[in-house]
Chain A
């Protein structure tokens, strides 16, 4: 596994996973995926990716709860997290920002937006 360019995609929509996996792989990323919210934090701790793309609404546990739990761990305080969501309300965005999200993006997004955000977040974290 490449340590420098490793993204974990936590998403439960199979066709979104497939499209994003293709796009990011083409950009040179190693892409792992995880679809269960309940075990997502455990997966992140185990895989220790460079960046996480996290869906807001997941089965088992919400993306917001996953993010909150993640930020409590000193090892993941600064891990770049791009949150994708169908919930575009200001309140949801504010909650995600309070929980420590690095970037918040509403569905439907463009591929260019995702790729640009991923590049920006990695550069900022260096």
Chain B
């Protein structure tokens, strides 16, 4: 990895340290929040006036953003070491390795980043190919049109005595089908490759909402203080292109208002300092449902907690991922998740230590609780909403010795072959 490729990481660190939201900083330097997001994740090179503007907005010298890459490099090497399962003693020598062999360290970190990116691509594409009905329809359209063109073209090529009327008709059919094929191919490429720029037109409402939440880092200070209105925020979000996406986003923001009315971030920050990250204790302290505390903890700036919410059908209504823990976008998730177990015990809060199968084997504590959301009716089970907080266990955490259950994201991209919950074969081999 070239040193300058880490500039984005340092911009992100400086921004978070300065307490800026991505959208705020982007506005100051006249770029979109989504472009800043790409820069911060080192997916766009940066230099010149934009670098100077960002440095000025962050109150640092531009050199502070482009030099001193060692810290980010060492962090990347530690990530490599954790993924490879090397000993803690070796991991502690990452800075020595980077200092003695900077070229090799760059290459190793770069290769790791590339592999991680490819793994994410495989997971996303596999997930889509397996479960996205719109993609299946798009593939079917392309193949059917190709079949029509092939059959018609063969008749024209092979039948030298074709009557002019039939020839004209088949030419017209090929012309129409080739246009249809061009359009459907373009749509299909847009599905598979978001970089083509066509993705926005084929994104699902859930993906649009996810982009919206990511840009805001799942945190809405203005909404919580009443300075911003949900409708205005949604209306001004270019990533929310569909009516359905805007409606879902409004629902998320109204819940933020409801939750922040029960537990403010300031109060939660104080309570976390006194009681630690214990959703059950905090729920008792504030007199609110455990799920409310989980949502507030996941929205708290500076805490890298993930959150997933599902309804009784198992559909995932809300996804906030954390590095190393994939939450499927389409189709069903792992049935072993406590998120689903808790649905049969709505009054219970479950805590499960989990290990992601395969290389790396990242550890997480998953806490789940279910709330009744529908009215009580005779002879009818109530509607439920289950919430699961995902707490990463750091590589240097003393608590890593606790027994963990292996759980993946969903069967198709989980390498745990001998799993009692497996629904379908995995595309990954054991240990991938």
Contact = CB atoms under 8 A, between A and B. Distances in A.
- Are A and B genuine complex partners? yes
Interface of A: 13, 15-16, 18-20, 22-23, 57, 84, 86-87, 106-112, 114
Q: Among B144, B155, B158, find the residue whose CB has the most chain A CB atoms closer than 10 A.
A: B144
B343 to A, nearest CB: 29
Nearest to A105: B147
A111 B140 contact: no
B173 A108 contact: no
Nearest to A88: B143
29 contacts: A13-B144, A13-B147, A15-B152, A15-B176, A15-B177, A16-B147, A16-B148, A16-B151, A18-B170, A19-B155, A22-B170, A23-B151, A23-B155, A57-B140, A86-B143, A86-B147, A87-B140, A106-B143, A107-B147, A108-B147, A108-B151, A109-B147, A109-B151, A110-B150, A111-B151, A111-B154, A111-B155, A111-B158, A112-B154
Contacts of B143: 86, 106-108
Given A15-B176, A18-B169, A19-B170, A107 B144 contact: yes
Contacts of A111: 151, 154-155, 158
Nearest to B137: A57
B139 interface: yes
- Residue from A16, A19, A57, A114 with most neighbouring chain B CB atoms (10 Å): A19
Contacts of B149: 108
A23 B162 CA distance: 12
Interface residues of B, number: 21
Given A15-B177, A23-B155, A109 B150 contact: yes
Nearest to A114: B151
B148 A19 contact: yes
A108 B140 contact: no
B257 to A, nearest CB: 44
B166 interface: yes
Interface in B223-273: none
B173 to A, nearest CB: 4
Given A15-B177, A19-B151, A86-B140, 10 more contacts: A13-B148, A23-B151, A86-B143, A106-B143, A107-B144, A107-B146, A108-B147, A108-B150, A108-B151, A109-B151
